[in-house]
Amino acid sequence: MAIYTPRGLKVRLPVEYAFALMARLYPQVSAFDVLKTTEGIESLPGALAFIIGLICFSFKLQPLQIGLTTFLVSVLTALMTRQGFYIFPDIIKVGTFYSYLAGFGILIILLAGFGFYLVGWRGVVSFFVARLLAGLVSELLDFRETRRISSISGIAITSSERHFINAYRLHASKLGKPVDASVEDEEMHKENWYPTFMALAMKYPEVVARFTVN
């Protein structure tokens, strides 16, 4: 059981459950918008790290300053996306925009070249080492959170599923809808969620084609 975002992020949730949540938001917010918001949350740490890299290189900070700044911002952003706490909700749009551009590593190559020109190889290495260490910390926190939830519910909820639920909550809070991600039995009935599903299928059949069911 899984749904996929437009750019292929796998969310291991039943189609019925995911669309029961998104049906609460439809038609004010489409399923496509929720899936793109999920991508934005997933991409936000990378997007903000990229911006921080540009700032650090532009101000020609020392390698240690670059490393510490990048590490702290990356870890704090990962924590923020994990908990669903967004000081400025529209910041997710930065992650969504970044997700369109981040393919094939082009931005990273450009950033590395920009940094090398301004601060030299030591500054560039500091940036990428800090990103690597922050990624390891984030993975460790994800693993612990997944184990914690699994021990309570018996269900393995990884970061992509949390990002989807947080995307739903973000839109629900804007619309004044319930942010509780639990659904009632009647919401799982096909007649409730299927119109939302079909609206996505008719406009973006290539997205729905990836979905898997039992």
Tokens 């969504």 identify what position?
96
Has residue 182 been placed in a domain? Answer: yes
Is 98 in contact with 46 (CB distance < 8 Å)? yes
Has residue 23 been placed in a domain? Answer: yes
Has residue 213 been placed in a domain? Answer: no
Q: Structurally, how many domains does the chain consist of?
A: 1
**pLDDT of amino acid 124:** 97
**pLDDT of amino acid 149:** 66
pTM of the entire structure? Answer: 0.89
Quick: pLDDT tens for 187-213: 999 999 999 999 999 999 999 999 987
Q: Look at residue 212 and give its three-state secondary structure.
A: strand
Has residue 24 been placed in a domain? Answer: yes
**pLDDT of amino acid 147:** 77
Tokens 């190889």 identify what position?
121
Q: Which residue(s) pair with 11 in the sheet?
A: 3
Has residue 96 been placed in a domain? Answer: yes
Has residue 102 been placed in a domain? Answer: yes
- In this prediction, the residues of the chain whose per-residue pLDDT falls under 50 are none
Has residue 139 been placed in a domain? Answer: yes
- DSSP letter (8 states) at residue 73: H
Q: Which residues of 21-31 are buried (b: 16+ CB within 10 A; e: fewer)?
A: bbbbbbeebbb
Domain coverage including residue 201: 3-208
